[in-house]
Amino acid sequence: MNTDVGISARLERISTGGRYLIVPMDHGVTLGPVKGLVDIESTIDGITRGGADAVLTHKGIAPRVHPNKNGKGYIVHVNGSTVIGPDESDKRMTASVEDALRVGADAVSFHINVGSEYEPSQMTQLSELCSRAADFGVPVLAMAYARGPGIDEHDAESLAHAVRLAEEVGADVVKTAYSGDAQSFSRVVEATRLPVVIAGGSRGTDRETAEMVRGTMDAGAAGVSMGRSIFQHDKPEAITRAVSAIIHDDADVDTALGRAGLSLEV
Protein backbone atom coordinates (compact mmCIF):
# COMPACT_ATOMS: atom_id res chain seq x y z
CA MET A 1 0.00 0.00 0.00
CA ASN A 2 1.26 3.45 -0.87
CA THR A 3 1.27 5.54 2.28
CA ASP A 4 3.66 8.22 1.12
CA VAL A 5 1.92 11.57 1.08
CA GLY A 6 4.30 13.05 -1.52
CA ILE A 7 3.71 10.17 -3.89
CA SER A 8 -0.06 10.41 -3.43
CA ALA A 9 -0.05 14.18 -3.98
CA ARG A 10 2.03 13.90 -7.13
CA LEU A 11 -0.02 11.00 -8.50
CA GLU A 12 -3.04 13.33 -8.33
CA ARG A 13 -1.18 15.78 -10.58
CA ILE A 14 -0.81 13.19 -13.35
CA SER A 15 -4.33 11.72 -13.18
CA THR A 16 -7.97 12.63 -12.63
CA GLY A 17 -9.91 10.73 -9.98
CA GLY A 18 -7.54 7.76 -10.26
CA ARG A 19 -7.78 7.61 -14.05
CA TYR A 20 -4.83 8.34 -16.29
CA LEU A 21 -4.59 9.90 -19.74
CA ILE A 22 -0.85 10.28 -20.23
CA VAL A 23 0.66 11.18 -23.61
CA PRO A 24 4.29 9.99 -23.82
CA MET A 25 6.51 11.86 -26.27
CA ASP A 26 9.85 10.26 -25.47
CA HIS A 27 9.91 8.82 -29.00
CA GLY A 28 12.23 11.64 -30.19
CA VAL A 29 15.07 9.61 -28.71
CA THR A 30 13.85 6.25 -29.98
CA LEU A 31 12.55 7.17 -33.44
CA GLY A 32 13.81 10.73 -34.03
CA PRO A 33 11.80 13.86 -34.80
CA VAL A 34 8.74 12.06 -36.20
CA LYS A 35 5.39 13.64 -37.08
CA GLY A 36 3.91 15.41 -34.06
CA LEU A 37 7.23 15.87 -32.29
CA VAL A 38 8.89 18.45 -34.56
CA ASP A 39 6.59 21.23 -33.36
CA ILE A 40 6.12 19.56 -29.99
CA GLU A 41 4.90 22.81 -28.45
CA SER A 42 1.72 22.85 -30.59
CA THR A 43 1.13 19.14 -29.99
CA ILE A 44 1.38 19.52 -26.22
CA ASP A 45 -0.87 22.56 -26.29
CA GLY A 46 -3.51 20.61 -28.25
CA ILE A 47 -3.47 17.42 -26.22
CA THR A 48 -3.58 19.19 -22.88
CA ARG A 49 -6.52 21.29 -24.11
CA GLY A 50 -8.13 18.04 -25.28
CA GLY A 51 -8.09 16.47 -21.82
CA ALA A 52 -4.71 14.79 -21.26
CA ASP A 53 -3.80 14.54 -17.57
CA ALA A 54 -0.04 14.56 -18.17
CA VAL A 55 2.64 14.60 -20.83
CA LEU A 56 5.92 12.70 -20.72
CA THR A 57 9.24 13.56 -22.33
CA HIS A 58 12.98 13.25 -21.83
CA LYS A 59 14.48 15.91 -19.55
CA GLY A 60 16.03 18.08 -22.29
CA ILE A 61 12.60 18.88 -23.75
CA ALA A 62 11.32 20.29 -20.43
CA PRO A 63 11.74 23.97 -21.43
CA ARG A 64 9.48 23.32 -24.45
CA VAL A 65 6.88 21.51 -22.34
CA HIS A 66 6.14 23.88 -19.47
CA PRO A 67 4.83 26.92 -21.40
CA ASN A 68 2.44 24.70 -23.39
CA LYS A 69 1.04 22.20 -20.91
CA ASN A 70 -1.92 24.25 -19.68
CA GLY A 71 -1.34 23.34 -16.03
CA LYS A 72 -1.30 19.55 -16.60
CA GLY A 73 1.11 17.03 -15.11
CA TYR A 74 4.63 16.34 -16.32
CA ILE A 75 6.59 13.07 -16.26
CA VAL A 76 10.29 12.76 -17.13
CA HIS A 77 11.43 9.54 -18.79
CA VAL A 78 14.79 8.35 -17.47
CA ASN A 79 16.12 5.76 -19.93
CA GLY A 80 16.31 5.34 -23.68
CA SER A 81 17.71 3.76 -26.82
CA THR A 82 17.33 4.28 -30.56
CA VAL A 83 16.03 2.20 -33.46
CA ILE A 84 19.29 2.90 -35.34
CA GLY A 85 21.60 1.88 -32.50
CA PRO A 86 23.01 -1.61 -31.92
CA ASP A 87 20.02 -2.88 -29.93
CA GLU A 88 16.79 -1.00 -29.24
CA SER A 89 16.06 -3.23 -26.22
CA ASP A 90 19.20 -2.02 -24.48
CA LYS A 91 17.77 1.08 -22.79
CA ARG A 92 20.36 3.11 -20.90
CA MET A 93 19.86 5.69 -18.15
CA THR A 94 19.37 9.25 -19.43
CA ALA A 95 18.34 11.04 -16.22
CA SER A 96 18.26 10.74 -12.44
CA VAL A 97 15.40 11.48 -10.05
CA GLU A 98 17.22 14.70 -9.13
CA ASP A 99 17.44 15.70 -12.83
CA ALA A 100 13.70 15.12 -13.19
CA LEU A 101 12.91 17.22 -10.13
CA ARG A 102 15.24 19.99 -11.33
CA VAL A 103 13.24 20.32 -14.56
CA GLY A 104 9.86 20.36 -12.78
CA ALA A 105 8.66 16.76 -13.08
CA ASP A 106 5.73 15.37 -11.06
CA ALA A 107 6.85 11.76 -11.68
CA VAL A 108 9.52 9.70 -13.45
CA SER A 109 9.13 6.82 -15.87
CA PHE A 110 11.43 3.93 -16.73
CA HIS A 111 11.22 1.38 -19.56
CA ILE A 112 12.00 -2.30 -18.81
CA ASN A 113 11.96 -5.10 -21.39
CA VAL A 114 10.93 -8.15 -19.39
CA GLY A 115 12.26 -11.23 -21.20
CA SER A 116 15.12 -9.51 -22.99
CA GLU A 117 18.80 -10.11 -22.29
CA TYR A 118 18.81 -6.68 -20.62
CA GLU A 119 16.09 -7.62 -18.12
CA PRO A 120 18.49 -8.31 -15.21
CA SER A 121 20.25 -4.94 -15.39
CA GLN A 122 17.02 -3.06 -16.14
CA MET A 123 15.31 -4.74 -13.19
CA THR A 124 18.12 -3.63 -10.85
CA GLN A 125 17.97 -0.11 -12.26
CA LEU A 126 14.18 0.04 -11.86
CA SER A 127 14.40 -1.20 -8.30
CA GLU A 128 17.08 1.38 -7.43
CA LEU A 129 15.10 4.12 -9.17
CA CYS A 130 12.01 3.25 -7.11
CA SER A 131 14.01 3.49 -3.87
CA ARG A 132 15.61 6.79 -4.86
CA ALA A 133 12.29 8.26 -6.06
CA ALA A 134 10.59 7.22 -2.80
CA ASP A 135 13.23 9.24 -0.90
CA PHE A 136 11.82 12.33 -2.63
CA GLY A 137 8.14 11.29 -2.66
CA VAL A 138 8.23 11.00 -6.45
CA PRO A 139 6.02 8.38 -8.17
CA VAL A 140 7.53 5.92 -10.66
CA LEU A 141 5.70 4.84 -13.80
CA ALA A 142 7.20 1.54 -14.98
CA MET A 143 6.85 0.92 -18.71
CA ALA A 144 6.94 -2.85 -18.37
CA TYR A 145 6.99 -4.46 -21.79
CA ALA A 146 7.20 -8.19 -22.53
CA ARG A 147 9.92 -8.07 -25.17
CA GLY A 148 12.62 -10.57 -26.01
CA PRO A 149 13.49 -13.59 -28.12
CA GLY A 150 10.48 -15.88 -28.61
CA ILE A 151 8.13 -13.64 -26.62
CA ASP A 152 4.73 -12.61 -27.96
CA GLU A 153 4.55 -8.96 -26.91
CA HIS A 154 0.75 -9.12 -26.61
CA ASP A 155 0.45 -12.42 -24.75
CA ALA A 156 -1.65 -11.85 -21.61
CA GLU A 157 0.42 -14.21 -19.42
CA SER A 158 3.67 -12.47 -20.38
CA LEU A 159 2.10 -9.05 -19.82
CA ALA A 160 0.76 -10.20 -16.44
CA HIS A 161 4.28 -11.25 -15.47
CA ALA A 162 5.69 -7.89 -16.57
CA VAL A 163 3.18 -5.79 -14.60
CA ARG A 164 3.60 -7.99 -11.54
CA LEU A 165 7.37 -7.51 -11.68
CA ALA A 166 6.83 -3.74 -11.72
CA GLU A 167 4.80 -3.88 -8.52
CA GLU A 168 7.22 -6.25 -6.82
CA VAL A 169 10.22 -3.96 -7.39
CA GLY A 170 8.37 -0.88 -6.14
CA ALA A 171 6.71 1.04 -9.01
CA ASP A 172 3.57 3.12 -8.40
CA VAL A 173 1.90 2.89 -11.83
CA VAL A 174 2.58 0.36 -14.58
CA LYS A 175 2.20 0.67 -18.31
CA THR A 176 2.23 -2.30 -20.65
CA ALA A 177 1.00 -3.32 -24.10
CA TYR A 178 -2.66 -4.23 -24.73
CA SER A 179 -3.40 -7.92 -25.17
CA GLY A 180 -6.07 -7.28 -27.81
CA ASP A 181 -9.36 -7.73 -25.96
CA ALA A 182 -10.94 -6.84 -22.62
CA GLN A 183 -11.30 -10.43 -21.42
CA SER A 184 -7.63 -11.34 -21.75
CA PHE A 185 -6.50 -7.93 -20.53
CA SER A 186 -8.51 -8.33 -17.32
CA ARG A 187 -6.04 -11.12 -16.40
CA VAL A 188 -3.22 -8.60 -16.77
CA VAL A 189 -5.02 -6.05 -14.59
CA GLU A 190 -5.74 -8.71 -11.95
CA ALA A 191 -2.04 -9.58 -11.72
CA THR A 192 -1.22 -6.40 -9.79
CA ARG A 193 -2.67 -3.89 -7.33
CA LEU A 194 -0.98 -1.07 -9.26
CA PRO A 195 -2.98 1.16 -11.61
CA VAL A 196 -2.44 -0.35 -15.08
CA VAL A 197 -2.30 1.81 -18.21
CA ILE A 198 -1.69 0.72 -21.79
CA ALA A 199 0.66 1.83 -24.55
CA GLY A 200 -1.05 2.46 -27.87
CA GLY A 201 1.58 1.10 -30.26
CA SER A 202 1.77 2.38 -33.82
CA ARG A 203 -1.18 4.45 -34.94
CA GLY A 204 -4.40 2.79 -36.14
CA THR A 205 -7.74 4.24 -37.26
CA ASP A 206 -9.69 6.44 -34.86
CA ARG A 207 -12.18 3.63 -34.26
CA GLU A 208 -9.38 1.15 -33.55
CA THR A 209 -7.85 3.59 -31.07
CA ALA A 210 -11.18 4.20 -29.35
CA GLU A 211 -12.03 0.49 -29.22
CA MET A 212 -8.63 -0.29 -27.68
CA VAL A 213 -9.20 2.32 -24.99
CA ARG A 214 -12.76 1.11 -24.34
CA GLY A 215 -11.54 -2.49 -24.01
CA THR A 216 -8.79 -1.39 -21.64
CA MET A 217 -11.23 0.38 -19.35
CA ASP A 218 -13.71 -2.53 -19.54
CA ALA A 219 -10.88 -4.77 -18.33
CA GLY A 220 -10.59 -2.68 -15.17
CA ALA A 221 -7.47 -0.75 -16.12
CA ALA A 222 -6.81 2.83 -15.02
CA GLY A 223 -6.19 4.44 -18.41
CA VAL A 224 -3.56 4.92 -21.08
CA SER A 225 -0.05 6.14 -21.71
CA MET A 226 -0.70 6.49 -25.42
CA GLY A 227 1.80 8.17 -27.68
CA ARG A 228 1.79 7.74 -31.46
CA SER A 229 -1.97 7.21 -31.79
CA ILE A 230 -2.40 10.68 -30.30
CA PHE A 231 0.62 12.82 -31.19
CA GLN A 232 0.82 11.55 -34.81
CA HIS A 233 -2.88 12.24 -35.41
CA ASP A 234 -3.74 15.08 -37.79
CA LYS A 235 -5.94 16.46 -35.01
CA PRO A 236 -4.21 15.61 -31.71
CA GLU A 237 -6.66 17.69 -29.68
CA ALA A 238 -9.68 15.89 -31.16
CA ILE A 239 -8.36 12.35 -30.66
CA THR A 240 -7.35 13.28 -27.10
CA ARG A 241 -10.91 14.51 -26.54
CA ALA A 242 -12.26 11.14 -27.74
CA VAL A 243 -9.88 9.14 -25.54
CA SER A 244 -10.65 11.41 -22.59
CA ALA A 245 -14.40 10.87 -23.04
CA ILE A 246 -13.86 7.10 -22.63
CA ILE A 247 -11.38 7.30 -19.76
CA HIS A 248 -12.84 10.16 -17.75
CA ASP A 249 -16.55 10.01 -18.67
CA ASP A 250 -16.99 6.29 -19.41
CA ALA A 251 -18.31 7.10 -22.90
CA ASP A 252 -18.87 4.35 -25.46
CA VAL A 253 -16.86 4.40 -28.70
CA ASP A 254 -19.46 6.15 -30.90
CA THR A 255 -20.22 8.78 -28.28
CA ALA A 256 -16.53 9.48 -27.76
CA LEU A 257 -15.76 9.83 -31.48
CA GLY A 258 -18.89 11.92 -32.05
CA ARG A 259 -18.16 14.22 -29.13
CA ALA A 260 -14.67 14.85 -30.53
CA GLY A 261 -16.02 15.61 -34.01
CA LEU A 262 -14.27 12.54 -35.50
CA SER A 263 -15.75 10.22 -38.10
CA LEU A 264 -17.71 7.20 -36.83
CA GLU A 265 -16.55 5.18 -39.85
CA VAL A 266 -14.22 2.20 -39.41
Q: Give residues in contact with ligand LIP6PEJA (CB under 6 A).
A: 24, 26-27, 30-31, 80, 111, 143, 199
Q: Among all residues, which ones are annotated catalytic?
A: 26, 145, 175
Figure out which of the listed residues 115, 195, 223, 227 binds ligand L7AMNMFQ, where binding follows CB under 6 A.
Answer: 227
Q: How far is the CB of 56 from ligand LIP6PEJA (least distance, A)?
A: 9
DSSP 198-246: E---S---HHHHHHHHHHHHHTT--EEE--HHHHTSSSHHHHHHHHHHH
Q: Please state, in angstroms and rounded to a whole number, the distance separating the CA atoms of residues 22 and 248.
A: 12
As a dihedral over the C-alpha atoms of residue 47, residue 194, residue 250, residue 244, rounded to 10 degrees, the angle is 0
The verdict on 24 binding ligand L7AMNMFQ (CB under 6 A) reads: yes
Residues in a beta bridge with 22: 54, 225
Closest to ligand L7AMNMFQ by CB, 164 or 228: 228
Residues 36-95 that bind ligand L7AMNMFQ (CB under 6 A): none
Q: Which listed range, 7-15, 159-167, 194-202, 235-243, lies at the site for ligand L7AMNMFQ (CB under 6 A)?
A: 194-202
Q: Taking CB under 6 A as the rule, which mask of x and - marks residues 140-159 in contact with ligand L7AMNMFQ?
A: ---x----------------
236 binds, among ligand L7AMNMFQ, ligand LIP6PEJA, none (CB under 5 to 8 A by kind): none
The verdict on 225 binding ligand L7AMNMFQ (CB under 6 A) reads: yes
Closest to ligand L7AMNMFQ by CB, 73 or 200: 200
What is the separation, in whole angstroms, between the first and last Cα of the chain? 42
DSSP 113-166: EETSTTHHHHHHHHHHHHHHHHHTT--EEEEEEE-STT--TT-HHHHHHHHHHH
The H or E element that residue 24 is part of is strand 20-24
Q: Which residues define the annotated binding site?
A: 26-30, 145-147, 200-201, 227-228
Q: Please state, in angstroms and rounded to a whole number, the distance separating the CA atoms of residues 144 and 111.
A: 6
